[in-house]
Amino acid sequence: MSHWKLLLVTVAAARVLAAGQGYSATWERIKGVDAVRLAAPGDSAVVLIAPSLGNKAFDFRVNGLPVLAPSGEQPDPAASGIPLLAPWANRLDGDYFWSNGKRYLLNPALDTIQYDESHQPLHGLLGSAAWRVVD
C-alpha cells in the first residue's frame, strides 16, 4: 500500500471512529495480553489497544486491511505498536504540563514518568502499566 493510500485510509478511519456512532469496545486476549478492541460500525475500522503496555495501539485495520502490520499478521502487542504519548508528547521543561489553561504537577513518586539525561520528563506515561480502563 502506498504512503498516500495509507494516509487516506488512516484519515478515513479516524473520521469514522471520531463520529462515535455505533462503535463498540470489547476485551480480547491477544498473545497473552489483555487488549481493548475498538470497532466502528461493521468493523470498518478496528484498533486493538493494550492498556497494560502503555496504552499501545498494536493492531489497526480499515475494511480488514492492516495499517500497522503490512504483512497482515496480527502483531505481538509486547513487541510492536504505537504508544499513547499522553498526557504530553516529547519533553517538558519541568515537572508539570499545561492543558486547557490549567497547570498539572507530575508526581515522580508514582514511578510512571521517564526522564531524559537532563532530567526532563519525556513522552507522557510511555509504557506505563498504570493505565486502566474505567468506562
Chain segment 66-91, per-residue pLDDT in tens: 887 766 677 778 777 888 777 888 88
- Select from 105, 86, 87, 85 the least CA-distant residue to 95: 105
Report the pLDDT value the prediction gives residue 101, as an integer from 0 to 100.
Answer: 93
DSSP code, position 42: G
Distance CA 68, CA 105 (A): 34
Length, in residues, of the chain: 135
Give the three-class secondary structure for 33. Answer: strand
pTM: 0.67
Chain segment 17-68, per-residue pLDDT in tens: 555 567 888 999 988 989 999 999 888 999 999 888 888 888 899 998 888 7
Chain segment 103-114, per-residue pLDDT in tens: 999 888 877 788
